[in-house]
Amino acid sequence: MSRRLGIAAVALLALALTAPIAITAAGAFSRSEWYGQRSEGAAVQDAPALFSYVTATWGRALSRSLQVVAAVVPLALLIGAPAAWAFRRRPFPGSRLLESAALTPLAVPGVALAFALIQSAAGVSRFWLLVGGHLAYTVPLVVKTVGNAVETLDPRLEPAARSLGAGPWEIARRVTLPLLAPALTLSALLVFAVSWGEFNVSFLLATPLLQTFPAGLYLAYTTSSFPVAAAATIVFLAPVVPALVAIQAFGGEEFHRGLPA
Amino acid sequence: MKVHVEEVAFTYGKEPVLSGVSLELPGGGITVLIGPSGSGKSTLLQLLAGLLHPAAGRILFDGEEVTGVPTERRDVGVVFQSYALFPHLTVRENIAFGLKTGRQRFSARSSRRRPSRHSLEARVWDAAALLGLERLLDRKPSQLSGGEQQRVALARAVAPRPALLLLDEPLSALDARLRRTVRAELASLLRQLGTTVFYVTHDQEEAMLLADHLVVLHEGRVMQAGSPLDLYRRPASPFVASFLGEANLVAVEVEEGGEGKPVRTPLGKVALPGGSARGWLLVRPEDVTEDPLGAVATVVDSRGLGPHERVVLALENGAELLAHFPPDSALAPGSKVRVGIRGRRPHFLAEG
């Protein structure tokens, strides 16, 4: 009985989560006429044409998003991972407070964060403001994910490596980083997914020339026909879905670490 | 390698952990440091390893001061209580770890550069063979039993052939039965290595079995050091007496003017060393014998433990006495026996 109920719940959840994507996909691959509207002119007749139209129109936003992600992913890891390690392994007075404080941006509305960034960093270019905004949302994820992994490391491994003649860099390279690799990969994927889909900050910091893809999507939904917006969404989702699948895989890997290979 | 520890002190926060600790580790011998938990023995091991640095005092390796030298530059190997094996590496890679580090050994006799690939494999194999790990080389630590992990930890520590091998309660994570077998193997292995060994334990049997030189630590101070049997037979304090095995401490007092004469004790007359006035006689349970001319005692409890009969006696003055009688000599509680001291020359501990 409870088993059936469970299956039903899972099925409902799966439907709720995938139905919008399925409908969007159907929309993207269908003809505009089916929706009773033609807004994009005669050039857009079939699905391939629609996609090339989308990439042509939002190409700049797409490359902007890629640039932002390319900056945010390594920076978030470079800031978050050493901080997580320090919080857990080299605690200092106030480090607990600081660790909690590092998580607060997650609870701040994007609007507020965007305005704060514009107000406080007037001289900084919009691109780096945007990167800063994304870092505020992604560094906490890295701190949390890597911090939990650091916690599971045997604190005796470092002294053991030292007693075998390894210096600090050698320990990082041969012991700490390999053991944290699953957590680092997981956080990189999380950062990618969040940064790629971030809308609030991106939208508010956007200028006509500096627009990330999600901001472009918003415009597509407000100004274009449904097939065009749907096609844009599919382009947007293309890298996210593999990333989410990989997150599942690595999230699972976390628990298998140290078990028989 | 000879090791000298001179007046070493260590504090954790404001708590003194070690104060004025001096000791000497004879070269090539096994020095066992024994003490109750919290006595500072692990701290002392970490000071020798260079994982901690003393607040005061000096540590010398073969006469050279190493007090401020970090672990990675000391010629030491460490076996940790929890083994601390690298979980992402195979047994082979764990053993090879110390052979691939850029260690700049402090020790003068550092003819050992990084071994070449061929000799590296040979040395991993040697260490594995020494501990019977040849068939486990491709396993991960999580695929090994506790006893196997312990052997890998030891192989990893000895593979770089350190001049000083430090073991921090290496058997405490094993269950009692396994501990007994491994203990004997370890004793012969450590003697075979011929390295200077510093071994920390709280287990008295382990200490007696392994030690060439035994050091008793209590509340951060060295209580006594010497050969294990000497410490067992002639402890300098009631603490050492009762820490190294079961002990009956019989209080005695020499009357004024009675110096040099045999003293009357609940266990008969005993001659004491001259000049002493007050103290205890150390009577080990195995030294209590049935003696037709001895003191009368009442049996309180008698229990056969296999190797011997553990008997609790009450002397006429009410003092309890623990005796180990030969096996199968069960006594009925309440019955009377006459007991004396084997050899009639018990060790005397002067008070103060």
Alpha helices in A153-259 (DSSP H): 157-163, 168-171, 177-197, 200-205, 213-223, 226-256
Burial of B330-351, coded b for 16+ CB within 10 Å and e otherwise, reads: ebeeeeebebbbeebebbbbee
pLDDT digits (tens, 9 = 90+) for A212-234: 888 877 877 777 777 777 777 88
How far is the C-alpha of B175 from the C-alpha of A38, rounded, in Å? 79
Q: What percent of chain A has a predicted confidence (pLDDT) above 70?
A: 86
B86, B94, B144, B167: best to mutate for the A interface, most A CBs within 10 A: B86
The phi, psi pair for B140, rounded to 5°, reads -95, 155
Q: Are A202 and A130 in contact (CB under 8 A)?
A: yes
Q: Are B90 and B118 spatial neighbours (Cβ–Cβ below 8 Å)?
A: no
Residues of B in contact with A157 (CB under 8 A): 84, 86
Beta carbons within 8 Å of A178's beta carbon, 6+ residues apart? B88
Range A119-146 average pLDDT: 86
Alpha-carbon distance of B329 to B348, in angstroms, equals 29
Q: Kindly give the confidence (pLDDT) of every residue in chain B, 352 residues in length, as a single tens digit, with 9 standing for 90 and above.
A: 999 999 999 998 888 999 999 999 999 999 999 999 889 999 999 999 999 999 999 999 999 999 989 999 999 999 999 999 999 999 999 999 999 887 655 544 444 556 677 788 889 999 999 889 999 999 999 999 988 999 999 999 999 999 999 999 998 888 888 888 888 888 888 988 889 999 999 999 999 999 999 999 999 999 999 999 999 999 999 999 999 999 999 888 776 666 667 777 888 777 776 666 788 889 999 999 988 888 899 999 999 998 899 999 998 888 899 999 998 888 889 999 999 888 767 888 888 6
- The kind and range of the H/E element at B4 are strand B3-12
B76 contacts A167? CB cut-off 8 A: no
Output DSSP code: residue B103: -
Please give the Cα distance from A156 to B223 (Å, whole number): 29
Whether A157 and B101 lie within 8 Å, measured CB to CB: no
Between chains, do B84 and A157 touch, taking CB under 8 Å as contact?
Answer: yes
Interior angle at CA B128, CA B123 and CA B131, nearest 5: 130
Q: Is the pLDDT of residue A40 over 60?
A: no
Q: Are B45 and B99 in contact (CB under 8 A)?
A: no
Nearest to A157 among B86, B101, B157 (CB): B86
Report pLDDT for B88. 94
What distance in Å separates the CA atoms of residue A205 and residue B335, rounded to the nearest whole number?
A: 97
Out of A156, A165, A261, the one facing B72 most closely (by C-beta) is A165
Nearest to B85 by CA among B93, B74, B76, B77: B93
Is A259 close to B142, i.e. CB distance below 8 A?
yes
> Are A159 and B84 an interchain contact pair (Cβ–Cβ within 8 Å)?
yes
Q: Between A and B, how many CB-CB pairs are < 8 A?
A: 79
Residues sharing a CB contact under 8 Å with residue A243, sequence separation 6 or more, in sequence order: A189, A192, A193, A196
- Chain B nearest CA to A22, separation (Å): 41
Identify all chain B residues contacting A165, using CB atoms and an 8 Å cutoff.
Answer: 72-73, 98, 101-103, 105, 160
A1: confidence class by pLDDT, cuts 50, 70, 90: low
Any B CB within 8 A of A93 CB: no
CA A193 to chain centroid: 2
**Testing the interface with A: which of B42, B51, B99 to mutate, by most A Cβ within 10 A?**
B51
Our CA-based measurement puts residue B314 at a distance from the nearest CA of chain A, in whole angstroms, of 50
**DSSP 8-state class, residue B232:** H
Pairing label, strands B278-283, B268-270 = unpaired
B235 in A contact zone (CB under 8 Å):
no
Which one of A162, A174, A261 has the shortest CB-CB distance to B72?
A162
Query: What residues of chain A lie within 8 A of the CB of B87, using their CB?
Result: 154, 179, 257-258
Q: Return the pLDDT at B257.
A: 64
